[in-house]
Amino acid sequence: MTVKKGDLVTVITGKDEGRRGKVLKVVAGKNRVYVEGVNLQKKHRKPSQNLMQGGILSQEGPVDASNVMVVCPHCHAPTRTGVRRLEDGRRIRVCRRCREDVDRA
């Protein structure tokens, strides 16, 4: 996947199109990501030891990874990412627009 936990992404399609947020969780097996403030779903909770007062809580739901794009920290635009190998053999993601490193921002 081109999206990692902690990346700033923008939603490119769907009901939350145009929203930006940080990736909270990546589920690679299902090609899904959880983005902060995107695809909010209501959850009814009973009072318990951990949650003293029950009620209706909002939490993020999964979004397909193909519906988000990584935001480049240098040019601040949604971009596709490429891969570049460093001298020591590591692979890093690169912005396709400005050719700057996305991982080492």
pLDDT at residue number 105: 52
pLDDT at residue number 35: 97
Architecture of the CATH domain 8-71: Roll (2.30)
Indicate the domain borders of the chain.
Answer: 8-71, 79-105
Please, are residues 23 and 35 in contact by the beta-carbon 8 Å criterion? Answer: yes
Coil/strand/helix, residue 65: helix
* 53 vs 79: CA distance, rounded Å: 43
Coil/strand/helix, residue 83: strand
* 60 vs 75: CA distance, rounded Å: 27
pLDDT at residue number 23: 97
Contacts of 54 (CB under 8 A, 6+ apart): 44, 45, 46, 47, 48
pLDDT at residue number 59: 94
Per-residue pLDDT of the chain (105 residues), as tens digits, is 889 999 999 999 999 999 999 999 999 999 999 999 999 999 999 999 988 888 999 999 999 999 999 999 999 999 999 999 999 988 999 999 999 999 865
